[in-house]
Structure 1
Amino acid sequence: MTQHRPASSQPVFDGHNDLLLRLWLQDAARDPVGQFLDGTLEGHLDMLRIRQGGLAGGLFAVFVPPARYVMQGNERYDPAQHDPLAIVKAQIALLHSIEARSAGRAKICRTVTEIERCMATGVLAMVLHIEGAEALDGELSQLDSWIAAGLRSIGPMWNLPNRFGVGVTGSFPGSPDSGEGLTPEGINLVRVCNQKKLLIDLSHMNEKAFWQTAEQSRAPLVATHSNVHALCQQPRNLTAAQLKAVAESDGFVGVNFGTAFLRADGQRNGDTPLSDILRHLDGLMAALGEDRVGFGSDFDGISVPDALGDVAGLPRLVTAMAGAGYGEALIEKICWRNWLSVLKKTWGE
């Protein structure tokens, strides 16, 4: 079975979404996977809107939220039962359930060749990503089983400290220099990721961890969902020096659609024009060149501009790019070709 994409839109490969967290947070009795595949979900993503928007694939994040985050939406949640490893396993199982129940509409991809085949046949190409490695022990004993389940990308930290290092924290406006960086276990994780050809995501690393990773890693530096600090001084956005290092490594940055990471005032305000996304694309291309920039929407994890709305709004963004003078070849690079290029450089296949 194939997807039918809008004729006016490029297919899009996207660097980050939090669909699996949204599905995990829902009541299992409501069959969230079934709702995703054949119904409608709250938030930014379901299969119907994915088809409407032309989303060809992307990195699907497994994320262990803090217990207090879960309790905000479920007052019956027992924080004493908060088990990061069990949550990771449950979210990986949800991705496998999507594949198994999709009747050929979605596939977990481990190579660029598999992604290309999916794109050619209209099958949603899903890449398993870990956002925050809290569930990993110091010996990384779970890592091989996750790789066997499809893992191809990992961000060692989210915003909070863990055994691998300190994530970027702080309020707007602020600096990414928010504390100590990688621990010795974190440095080892970077080396092991290189050995196993896993993409290392920089998007939630603070500045010290970023530079330690740049020193230790042999792979292209990739921030899957980050923007330009000079244009929006969120601590999670990348400074000019960081962008220079990404460029020198032949790396990549996926622009985050979150309004708080786009707007010069850092506000979560839906009244944010699509031109703010283009402003960051232009800033990234000025620093990295047009071959190292793409999308890292953060769908289902942030508030997006009302003008975009959700994944079904991607053709409007493509139209805005064309209206701003982006040529067809450049739009194709940003929408998907650059992502596949950096994945091939990282994975080797």
Structure 2
Amino acid sequence: MTASTPKIFDGHNDTLLKLVMHRGTKKERSFFERVDYDHIDLPRAKEGNLCGGFFALWVPSQRDLKADMGTAHDDPSNFSCVPQETALAYTSQLISQAVQIERAAKGEVILCRSTREIRETAAQDKFAILLHMEGAEAIDPDFAALDMLYEAGLRSIGPVWSRQNIFADGVPMRFNSSPDTGSGLTEKGRELVRRCNDMGVMLDMSHITEKGFWDVAALSTKPLVATHSNVHAICPHARNLTDKQLAAIAESKGVVGINFAVSFLREDGSWSADTPLDIIVRHAAYLVEKLGEDGVALGSDFDGCRVPKDLKDASGLPRLIDALRAAGFGEELIEKIAHKNWWSVLERTGI
């Protein structure tokens, strides 16, 4: 880490999933020990000046899902629906993993429930975990689980992952495709939006169809956010955002977190790790142009994707900061992208 690297707060990772998936395997690991695989552990986070982020609660369709989603995207069974009871049970395991990390850290890792707690944790050079649900399969039609999960610390929800549930349709992992791939919100989805607005839970548009996006935009009273998505005009992947969507996010004073998954960055949609950091910079510059300096952040998708080899993992984040700096991004803008914009939009959401 260089002295000039600002604190970085990340909009999305799948680290809890990786820790749970690796149990009982040769890759079983502790969050507190440095390893040379996966993307985030506490030692590498400190090396990269990563002070925390949104830790995803994501339930795989298949329990034996391969760790590298670069190959798993080709298997339709990895996108099958998940029953609510199954999803809630697995989500409980993931939350338990976060609680165990906090307990074992003896005050060095804090499971935060407010922006104030995140700011205080970062100011004390400790690590902040904010729980985020990626796909709301664990929430029942009566929303009892939503109340329970909120009390456990859940503060951000993506109504869908890239599959269908009772709330909405998700976009497929499809390159050279519009995000206009399916239906919008169901009635239960509309109720989920209203409840999240009332409770102070952020809504994440990263995996929802374009119809669903516009349904949320018409209904929500909070900023529109995509925690880990990129620019469709640069990389025409269904997971990325069109200019029209970016305009709506800007109007709502929302934020987009730049995803480091190479297939969501590259013009050719390739999964090649031989992808220069300049392409991340290009997406950042485009987003700043469309959203303004207060609308761009980082949403790495660490531990859930294949990233550029020059980044490698959380310890490589200073190299990305240096690439932004080399491209002419000023220090104030870099600090906003690194952490300030996430904290500001969380506050505007009521968290």
Q: Distance in 1 between matches of 2:168 and 2:100?
A: 32
Matched, 1:208 2:202: no
- Asked if the contact 2:169–2:209 (Cα under 8 Å) also holds between the matched residues in 1, the reply is yes
Q: Could you tell me which of 146, 165, 168 is aligned with 1:165?
A: 168
Residue 347 (structure 2) aligns with: 344
Residue 241 (structure 1) aligns with: 244
List aligned pairs for 1:33-72, cutoff 5 A.
Answer: 35-40=30-35, 42-67=37-62, 70=64, 72=66
What TM-score comes out, normalization by structure 2 length?
0.92
For structure 1, the 5+ residue unaligned runs are 74-78
Number of equivalences:
336
Residues 283 and 71 (structure 1 numbering): CA distance in 2 closer, same or farther, change over 3 Å?
closer
Q: Could you tell me which of 3, 19, 28 is aligned with 1:23?
A: 19
Q: Distance in 2 between matches of 1:56 and 1:213?
A: 30
- Asked if the contact 1:35–1:41 (Cα under 8 Å) also holds between the matched residues in 2, the reply is no
Between 1:58-67 and 1:165-174, the stretch displaced more is: 165-174
Matched, 1:223 2:226: yes
Q: What's the offset of the Cα at 1:40?
A: 2.4
Residues 72 and 328 (structure 1 numbering): CA distance in 2 closer, same or farther, change over 3 Å?
closer
Q: Distance in 2 between matches of 1:229 and 1:211?
A: 16
Residue 272 (structure 1) aligns with: 275
Deviations 1:11-56 (A, max 9, x none): 1010000001101112258895x61113426310111101100001
Q: What's the offset of the Cα at 1:6?
A: 4.0
Residues 6 and 216 (structure 1 numbering): CA distance in 2 closer, same or farther, change over 3 Å?
same
Matched, 1:316 2:310: no
Matched, 1:261 2:264: yes
Q: What's the offset of the Cα at 1:71?
A: 5.3
Matched, 1:155 2:158: yes
List aligned pairs for 1:181-192, cutoff 5 A.
Answer: 181-192=184-195
Partner secondary structure for residue 209 of structure 1: helix
Residues 119 and 72 (structure 1 numbering): CA distance in 2 closer, same or farther, change over 3 Å?
closer
- Asked if the contact 1:226–1:254 (Cα under 8 Å) also holds between the matched residues in 2, the reply is yes
Residue 9 (structure 2) aligns with: 13
Q: Distance in 1 between matches of 2:34 and 2:334?
A: 31
* Letter aligned with residue 54 of structure 2: L
Identical columns (%)? 47
Matched, 1:109 2:98: no
Q: Could you tell me which of 131, 148, 151 is aligned with 1:128?
A: 131
What TM-score comes out, normalization by structure 1 length?
0.93
- Asked if the contact 2:110–2:128 (Cα under 8 Å) also holds between the matched residues in 1, the reply is yes
- Asked if the contact 1:130–1:155 (Cα under 8 Å) also holds between the matched residues in 2, the reply is yes
Q: What's the offset of the Cα at 1:7?
A: 1.2
Residues 193 and 29 (structure 1 numbering): CA distance in 2 closer, same or farther, change over 3 Å?
same
Q: Could you tell me which of 153, 174, 177 is aligned with 1:174?
A: 177
- Asked if the contact 2:266–2:275 (Cα under 8 Å) also holds between the matched residues in 1, the reply is yes
Q: Distance in 1 between matches of 2:33 and 2:21?
A: 19
The RMSD of aligned alpha carbons is 1.8
Deviations 1:153-203 (A, max 9, x none): 010100000011100115210010011111110111000000101000000
* Letter aligned with residue 149 of structure 1: A
- Asked if the contact 2:162–2:173 (Cα under 8 Å) also holds between the matched residues in 1, the reply is no
Which segments of structure 1 move beyond 6 Å, counting only runs of 4 or more?
none
Q: Distance in 2 between matches of 1:41 and 1:58?
A: 21
Between 1:38-47 and 1:197-206, the stretch displaced more is: 38-47
- Asked if the contact 1:170–1:178 (Cα under 8 Å) also holds between the matched residues in 2, the reply is no
* Letter aligned with residue 329 of structure 1: E
